[in-house]
Structure 1
Amino acid sequence: MIKKWFKNIGPGTLVAAAFIGPGTVTLCTLAGVNFGMNLLWAMLLSIIATIVLQEMAARLGIISQKGLSEVIREEIKSPFFRQFITVLILSAIVIGNASYEAGNISGGILGLETVFGSWSISFGSFTVNVMSLVIGIIAFALLYIGNYKFLERALVALVLLMSVSFLITAIVTKPNLLEVFKGMFIPKFPEKSLLTIIGLIGTTVVPYNLFLHASLVKEKWKTSDDLSLAKKDTIISIVLGGLVSMAIIISAAAINSSEINNAADLAKGLEPLYGSFSKYFLALGLFAAGITSAITAPLAAAYVAKGCLGWKDGLKSKRFRAVWIIILAIGVVFSSIGIKPIEIIKFAQVANGMLLPVVAGILLWIMNKKSVLGNYSNTKLQNFIGLFILTMSIFLGLKSILKVFNVF
């Protein structure tokens, strides 16, 4: 039974690995410290929205046997509009993931440094963090092998490690279960919580995951008979990912301190309260969260470039490898010497803010095309839920753009 379950999990787990990055860990930490259990409902809403959109992406990938960016290129007939969407997608995903990769690697570093301390080498006025090179080498090795099944198994193992680590940390804090359920099912908007709510939803419903999922499912499943397996995989993986995010919020809510600003502080904050074991569980979770995102972000960018530019070759091709190598290298360099590319990250935030409603809208449009999906196009209920998510994504997109320019 367990062996069969392990055989059928895969792409959904990579999606969960992608959205639980260091940014999500830090944001969930701040949500728990500042607002207690009150924002758990926002994470529950995010999980539902993610399941709906990712199921559509998976269904599209299996039935069409094409990635989302490939279908967009084929279905948008207007040359100008097609070119505009292609440029927007490439900018947001490829450049955006390159700028966020430093944060992914830095998250893995936090986990290692919690246990081993800081290791660095100085070259004149430059100081290089050795841990970032270690994580970069691990990510490079896993990606360079270019075998989907091997990559899948490695990421599944890391996600399970991360999940167990954070869930145990939450259990050790002995939360009030009544408060947990109230936080999940009774929406509250504490003062100054709006941006945190937007952030929790925005870091879970991730645009590049839609491209990644549609591209990965066709590596594993080939016919409509596999749709039920893909759906189970999607639901189980994303629910597990959501539980991990909730566990981080619950762990952080147990700490009565205003000095907790990020996930590294959370590790230190838990130690005097619950002993050194919490520190090690959290460190393992942080390391796994950082390294899984450090692998999936370059992989997603390479898949998007492949689809947008019409490349037909596979994971081991020079062009495909060149994209993820460049993104991984940028992340390693920026994280190892401490450079924060603020302007690039601002551009990425704006592009992603614009991209989520655009991609969600195009995905909904494609999911209703009989010429692409035949009898597997969206039902009325799926369209209704999809339109609600689209409306929410437009709101989130506008808020994230206004936030970058300090308008809101």
Structure 2
Amino acid sequence: MRKLLAATLGILSAVGGFVDIGDLVAAGQAGARFGMAHTWVLLLGVVAICAYAEMAGRIAAVTGRAVFDLIRERLGARVALLNLIASYLVTVITLAAELGGVALALRLATGVPYLLWVPVAGLAVWLVLWRMRFQLMERVFGLAGLALVVFAVALWWLPTDWAALGRGVVLPTEAGQGWGAYWFIAVALFASTVSPYEVFFFSSGGVEERWSKADLADARFSVLVGFPIGGFLALSLIATATVVLRPAGVTVSSLEQVAHPVVLAFGAAGLAVAALAFFAVTFGAALETGLSAAYAAAQYFGWQWGKRVSPREAARFHTVLLVSVLLGVLLLLTTIDPVTLTEYMLIISAVALPLTYLPILVVANDRTYLGDRVNGRALNLLGAVILLVILAAAIAAVPLAIGTRMGE
């Protein structure tokens, strides 16, 4: 029973941690501008994150070491340093965007200007990372993030043309918005689904929770059930934006607009639940990105790391953690709009994706580390196809951003 409970909570944590500020913005924009035409992108992203998270979790369970730790050993210090620089910059920018999402969610709930909430959000994230146990932290915010199910409920409650939604899925079109903007949002949505920090956090979290070979089945079950349900919640965001925002000609530029379908369906109660969901998923993602930044640095330099380790024994790890949160807060205090920052973050993430996913595929095929637990042929084929998609997205991201003026 205890093992079943642990597996169930792992699934719920994966579900709650799947959607973050990038998914909220990208999914809202996709539905508002193109209807259900990007459903295939979301499905592809779910398959991709499942495949590579499974590899990362298996590496952690079999070796007892995190992926980034092995990347330096397997690929050498210079290649790993390039990976570290890219991943740290992307992760800190993502952390800033998530903190901005927390501040926007608090503004949605209170009406207080979001900039006043930014330092509060940063302090709260740091205190939770400093004091709360890893499993409790993951489960509290993961479970709270399930409040996003209100979007799926709203879709059933609202007068929805299900046949039209279905046609939008199977017959995608640019709908008069332009193919350049269509592909720009496709790249942004894909990048939001396979954010680099997710696999590093999943792997390092496995080490934090002391996974072993005996935990492989539970870890795989959590991945293959949790992430698809998280994908379903993201699909609900696209669908509600399609039903409510697209007919009104609304282009998503704030979380208020993302929440509007739920408010239309359930009034003030819907707004309260949406604000809670936005707060939970962005706060949870801020915790994950903050830890991921510190994990990457500590694992590269061989420092002691982990929330299980006391700050006195892992002082450099906790220093990087604190500095990363401060950098995120300072970036937001420049008054850059959090939604705009999120859009730029997604493009930067898309460019950096190959540096994250190629090393994972390499390590997952190394018998020196995994023995007979290396990838099978089917998973290698899937991983290679996904890697080609990742390379295509990385190559196309900047030209699309420039050519479409960030999707205008």
Q: TM-score interval w.r.t. the shorter chain?
A: 0.7 to 0.9
Partner of 1:213: 202
Q: Within 2, Cα distance between the matches of 1:13 and 1:310? A: 32
1:303 equivalent to 2:302? Answer: no
CA distance in 2 between counterparts of 1:12 and 1:87 reads 33
Does 1:66 find its partner at 2:65? yes
Q: What is the rounded CA distance, in whole Å, between the counterparts of 2:80 and 2:374 in structure 1?
A: 24
| Counterparts of 1:342 and 1:180, CA distance in 2 | 26
Q: Match of 1:271?
A: 263
Summarize the Cα distance change of 1:12–1:270 in structure 2 as closer, same or farther, 3 Å threshold: closer
Contact 1:349 1:404 in 2 (8 A): no
Listed one character per residue, the Cα deviations across residues 338-372 of structure 1 (whole Å, up to 9, x for unaligned) are: 24699999996676444322332222222111111
**Aligned with 1:88 (options 61, 74, 82):** 82
Choose the corresponding residue for 2:153, options 168, 186, 208.
168
> 2:132 matched to 1:133?
no
Shift of 1:87: 2.4
CA contact (8 A) 1:62 1:224 kept: yes
> SS at the partner of 2:186?
helix
Shift in CA distance, 111/349, structure 1 to aligned 2, threshold 3 Å? closer
Percent of aligned pairs with the same amino acid: 22
Deviations 1:106-128 (A, max 9, x none): 212222222210247xxxxxxxx
| Aligned counterparts of 1:272 and 1:344: Cα–Cα separation in 2 | 27
Counterpart of 2:326 (choices 304, 329, 341) is: 329
Residue 398 of structure 2 aligns with an amino acid whose one-letter code is I
Query: Which residue of the partner structure matches residue 184 of structure 2?
Result: 195
User: Partners of 1:366 and 1:273 in 2: how far apart?
Assistant: 48
Q: Is the 8 A contact 1:14 1:296 kept in 2?
A: no
How far, CA to CA, are the matches of 2:287 and 2:335 in structure 1? 20
**How far off is 1:218 after superposition?**
2.3
1-structure distance, mates of 2:371, 2:33: 48
For structure 2, the residue ranges without an aligned partner over 5 or more in a row are: none
| Equivalent residue runs for 1:342-361 within 5 Å | 352-361=349-358
Question: What is the identity, as a one-letter code, of the residue corresponding to 1:167?
Answer: A
* Partner residue in 2 for 1:259: 250
**1:321 Cα deviation (Å)?**
1.1
344 and 335 in structure 1: CA distance in 2 versus 1, 3 angstrom threshold: closer
Q: Is the 8 A contact 1:55 1:234 kept in 2?
A: yes
Match of residue 93 from structure 2: 99
Task: Using structure 1 for the length normalisation, give the TM-score.
Answer: 0.86
Instruction: Tell me, in whole angstroms, the C-alpha distance in 2 between the residues paired with 1:48 and 1:218.
Output: 24
Aligned to 1:319: 316
| Aligned position for 1:241 | 230
Please give the alpha-carbon distance, in whole angstroms, between the structure 2 residues aligned to 1:332 and 1:132. Answer: 6
1:259-280 CA deviation, whole Å, 9 max, x = no partner? Answer: 3423322334653565333322
Displacement of 1:166 in angstroms is 3.4
**Where does residue 394 of structure 2 map in the other structure?**
397
What stretches of structure 1 of length at least 5 have no aligned partner? 77-81, 121-128
For the Cα contact (< 8 Å) 1:169–1:281, is it kept in 2? Answer: no
1:279-322 Cα offsets, whole Å, 9 max, x none, are 22222221122211211111111111111111134323211111
Alpha-carbon distance, 1:86 to partner: 2.1
Aligned to 1:48: 47
Residues of 2 paired with 1:15 and 1:85: CA distance?
30
Which amino acid is the alignment partner of residue 329 of structure 1? Answer: L
2:138–2:284 Cα contact (<8 Å) kept: no
- For 1:134, give the aligned amino acid: V
Alignment of 1:287-298 (within 5 A): 287-298=279-290
TM-score if structure 2 supplies the norm length?
A: 0.86
Which residue number corresponds to residue 24 of structure 2? 25
CA RMSD of aligned residues (A): 2.9
Partner of 1:379: 376
Give the superposition deviation at 1:196.
Answer: 1.3
Q: Number of residue pairs matched?
A: 392
Match for 2:50: what amino acid? I
Comparing 321-330 and 82-91, the one that deviates more: 82-91
